[in-house]
Structure 1
Amino acid sequence: MILAVTALAPPASAADGDVTFENDGVTLHGTVVAPPGGTKLPGIVMVHGSGEHSREDYRDQAEAFARQGIATLIYDKRTEGYSQFSRSYSTLADDALAAVEALRKRPEVDPARVGVWGLSEGGWVAPLAASRSSDVAFVVTLGANGVEPSRQQAWAIENQLRRLGMTGSIVGMASSTMMRQLVGGGVFPEAHYDPVPVLKSLRQPVLGLWGAKDVLTPPGEAVRIFQESVAHHTLRVFPDAQHQLRRTTDGFDKLDGYAPGYVELVGSWVNHPPTASSADAPPSQDRPSVSVTPLRWYESTWLQLAVLVVLLVAFAFGLFRRPRWLSVTGLLTVLGFLVVDVLLQTTMGKGLGPVVAGRPLPWLALQLLSLGVVAATIATGVAWWRQRSIRLGIAVAGGVVFIPWAIYWGLLAI
């Protein structure tokens, strides 16, 4: 719920003016960048991509839009209630609506021509804000998704790992198994947000922009979904641009400058919205995105945590009795897997070092250790059969549990 809006008067001799506005008990601070001396200007509120962002992250584009005759509000993204593990698109949309109200109150702005601009995550948030208020005159999106966040993220992770030369089980583990566990464990916020119903509800004109070499958003699918869902649309694809419409060679690097014609297109479209819909052909994708399916009962997060505890206890218990090979290899594999899992999530695979035969060296080492655990389980099982030792029996039980666990997580898969 939007509680209050306060707009400060623009400085007499500057093109910038500070604003504050409030939503859900949080005061947000922003700046309006506008051409000096303008009157009855169209306005844009810029809605952030994912992560922490200040208004300065979008100042260069705001200044470019100002040169196109547009008053643009950039603001510091909320930190309260927003983190890697907690966020609400609904709250972010209400933040954007509070910013729209602040911009509409500016004396140099035409209140009937204020819209929202959203990048990436903002491509989910900006349409949601527009669907809630007729005060939003139009929507501009960059790198917006037509699929749910978990599906987009799984597609992006696989792109990153393949770019690093990885193939096989580690790619499937990171982009599917790990992602399904994060979603099932409730630590992936807004995982199943479906943008399509919101897009279908929009009555405002929408300018959707994508880079053909986008490796974070499935651009071909997004263009098709927007074309099928948005009633009044203008959809454009820039051939040599990446996710943020920066110039690029492969979608991963960022060259200086934005895609030629991007800023001018936004300026002309906002100042003179077309009456008829039009769309570029969807760009090609190497592969389609895939839905992140719910966990089966045996994959539940709590069961996976319980299995980890069983493995660690069983292997640690076996350290007190020879032969210790099963316990040593088992502990090294389980603990090493946890480290690799964290590195995959925090560095998108960049922290795993050189890649050999499609496998980063730590993953290759874990797969070899896993084979060692299987061999040690057989050997220790034979020793247990001869000695009938409780300690050996516990270690063997750990080895037996380890095998399906390692298959599930790709350690015993190609």
Structure 2
Amino acid sequence: MELRRGLVTLGAGAALLGALLGTAAWTAPPAVARIAEEGTRATADPAVREIELSVPTSDGLVLPATLRVLADARPKLPGMVLVHGAGPGPREKYRAEAEALARAGIATLAYDKRTAGYSLLERSYSRLADDAIAAADLLRGRPEVDPDKVGLWGFSEGGWVAPLAAARAPDTAFLVVVGANGVAPLRQQTWADTIKMDHAGVTGSLVDAHARTPYRVLTAMGLFPEPFFDPAPALRSLTLPVLGVWGAQDRLTPPVESVTAYRAALDGAGNRHYTLRTVEGAEHLLRTTTDGFDKGSAFAPGYVDLVTGWVTDVAGGRLPATSVAGVGEQPRPTAAVPPPAWYESAWVQLGAPAVLVLGFAGFGLTATWRRLRGRPVVRSSWPAGVLAGAGLTTVAGTFAYLGYLQATAGRTVTPGPMLAGRPLVWLALQVLAVVAVIAAIMASARWRATANSAGRTRAALLMAAGAVFVPWATFWGLLVP
């Protein structure tokens, strides 16, 4: 009987959760890449000559590269290496940028980002900086390029990498960063995902459960690369000309705080030739936008002219005076993310779900196993069956829903139908969590009355899972408004 009740609870909960997840999936857009991994492909410009090269890295890799110059360009042009943003890095992602710069008389070198030692869960900004330095060395050796006028251009993640490379390579002539972060990667990522939740109208505990808690757990497990990388030390060593450009409607990089951080660090370096600009009507990639979440196909007005004009002036010896202009839109400040606590470690975050699944699922499976073997099934209280069903549904549903949000979070989050700022799926999971807690309290008051030691052991394992469930559900926001 108790098994039947548990299965009924499990089935009802699963049916409800499945229906709501189906509704959410029906209203969601197709899965897309994260904004930080986007690039733009443009039609090749016949006025621009392309030369295929290879960048030898310090650890023995060879990275295919493309040099672009005007077909009828004069020799000894200023040159610029394009340093990738996050994600897989084929050089074609930056064809539009490379051609726009080349048309203005700036030789550009774009190279494929390394795959060895770089992935979603592994990367080293120090190693990526070495790759950028190697590309700049290759560019200096080209007859089309003036070796004394070679600089770096870094986009997004490249805004952490390119300043580090420039700080290590004193022959870097200038630095341009676009959509660069003045805060650490973990702080930036949690802010960006929180902004997406704000845009979707989500409030309450799901915001942290999606935008903060998973990243802290990944960090504790060593699976969030370079979480606390500090860009300030490299910036505080730069006295070369620096141009920083941000989209006013950037929703991935906090534009206001990043400008402030760059200004403070460059002032600390005694830099007298930096230019910081915020471009209106531009998103993270400096394409046109209406709200920062949509992206047009064209560069925002003024962006290309700003970069090409600035680089041309610097290469011509006309060093700009320090200036800061433009106002960004940052809907909320970033929040500091302290190092993970012990309960966010791998052994806790992997061990707790294992205990929950074994305790909840094992309660019903052991009864089934005994019945199949022809042994008598020890009766348990009905709250025990409810606890097993509701608990298992909540654990499985929570990971399924949070995984769905992560998998479909591109430029925006689509959480499904909502009520008062809470997605119905999440509300259903919270209700099941409360039901499980109440059932655990009721079942714990009755488990000693179990007829024999086998039944008491089975119930004790279930009670242990119930005890673990309460802090686990609280940590993931299920028992928080």
So what's the TM-score if we normalise by structure 2? 0.80
The answer on whether the counterparts of 2:48 and 2:102 sit within 8 Å (CA) in structure 1 is no
2:30 counterpart residue number: none
Name structure 1 gaps, 5 residues minimum. 1-12
Q: 3-state DSSP class of the match of 2:56?
A: strand
| Structure 2 residue 327 is the aligned partner of structure 1 residue 293 | no
Greater displacement, 400-409 / 45-54: 400-409
Corresponding residue number in structure 2 for 1:354: 417
Measure how far apart 1:346 and its partner are: 2.7
In structure 2, what is the Cα distance between the partners aligned to 1:199 and 1:14? 33
- Structure-2 change in CA distance of 1:334 and 1:256 (3 Å): same
Report which stretch shifted further, 14-23 or 154-163. Answer: 14-23
Q: Deviation string for 1:292-319 (max 9, x for gaps)?
A: 1112233323122222222111112321
Task: Look up the SS of the partner of 2:94 in the other structure.
Answer: helix
Q: Percent identity?
A: 49
Larger relative contact order, structure 1 or 2 (CA cutoff 8 Å, min sep 6): 2
Q: Deviations over 1:153-175 (max 9, x none)?
A: 00001011221221110101222
Residue identity matched to 1:29: P
* 1:397 and 2:464 correspond: yes
Question: How has the CA–CA distance of structure 1 residues 58 and 298 changed in structure 2, closer, same or farther, with 3 Å as cutoff?
Answer: closer
Indicate yes or no: 2:433 matched with 1:370.
Answer: yes
Distance 1:14 1:383 in 2: 80
Q: Which moved more, 1:68-77 or 1:281-290?
A: 281-290
134, 157, 164: which one aligns with 1:121 = 157
Amino acid at match of 2:288: R
Q: How does 1:3-402 map to 2 (within 5 A)?
A: 15-23=49-57, 24-37=59-72, 38-230=74-266, 231=271, 232-273=273-314, 274-319=319-364, 320=367, 322=380, 323=382, 324-348=385-409, 350=413, 352-387=415-450, 389-402=456-469
Give the Å deviation of 1:385.
4.1
**Residue identity opposite 2:350 in structure 1:** L
- Deviation readout 1:237-258 (Å, 9 max, x if unpaired): 0111000111100101001311
SS in 2 for 1:344: helix
Cα distance in 2 for partners of 1:159, 1:254 equals 16
SS across alignment from 1:106:
coil
Query: Would the aligned equivalents of 2:48 and 2:99 in 1 still touch at CA under 8 Å?
Result: no
Q: Return the offset for 1:357.
A: 2.5
User: 2:344 and 2:224 mapped to 1: Cα distance?
Assistant: 17
Relative to structure 1, the CA distance from residue 14 to residue 241 in structure 2 (aligned partners, 3 Å threshold; closer, same or farther) is closer
Residue pair 1:246, 1:256 contacting (<8 A) in 2 also: yes
Distance in 1 (CA, whole Å) between partners of 2:286 and 2:174 is: 20
Q: CA deviation at 1:378?
A: 2.3
CA positional deviation for 1:352: 4.3
3-state DSSP of counterpart to 2:212: helix
Q: Over residues 337-363 of structure 1, what are the superposed CA-to-partner deviations in whole Å (9 max), with x where a residue is unaligned?
A: 222232233333846433333222322
Pick the structure with greater CA Rg. 2
2:297 and 2:232 map into 1 onto residues whose CA distance is 34
Structure 2 stretches lacking a partner, 5+ long: 1-46, 368-378
For 1:59 and 1:307, how far apart are their aligned partners in 2? 47
The CA distance in 1 between the partners of 2:241 and 2:71, in whole Å, is: 27
Distance in 2 (alpha carbons) for counterparts of 1:144 and 1:173: 26
User: Secondary structure at 1:170's aligned position in 2?
Assistant: helix
- In 2: Cα distance, 1:371 partner to 1:190 partner: 37
CA deviation map 1:377-407 (0-9, x unaligned): 1232233243363322321222122112111
8 Å Cα contact 1:221-1:282 kept in structure 2: no
Letter in 1 for 2:421: G
> 1:231-289 CA deviation, whole Å, 9 max, x = no partner?
23100001110001111001010013111111111111111023311111552422111
Number of aligned residues: 402
- Residue 217 of structure 2 contacts residue 349 of structure 2 at CA under 8 Å; is this kept in 1? no
Q: In the alignment, which residue of structure 2 is the partner of 1:7?
A: none
Report the 3-state secondary structure (helix = DSSP H, G, I; strand = E; otherwise coil) of the residue aligned with 2:429.
helix
Paired residues of 1:179 and 1:292 also in contact (CA < 8 A): no
CA offset digits 1:191-241 (Å, max 9, x no partner): 111000000011211100001110100100000111111223100001110
Contact 1:326–1:399 (Cα < 8 Å) also in 2: yes
AA of the residue aligned to 1:17: I
Q: Which amino acid aligns with 1:267?
A: T
Distance 1:173 1:223 in 2: 29
Aligned-partner Cα distance in 2 for 1:50–1:87: 10
Cα distance in 2 for partners of 1:263, 1:296 equals 45
One-letter amino acid of the counterpart of residue 390, structure 1: T
Structure 2 Cα separation of the partners of residues 262 and 372 of structure 1 = 55
Give the aligned residue type for 1:260. P
SS in 2 for 1:316: helix
Q: CA deviation at 1:334?
A: 0.9
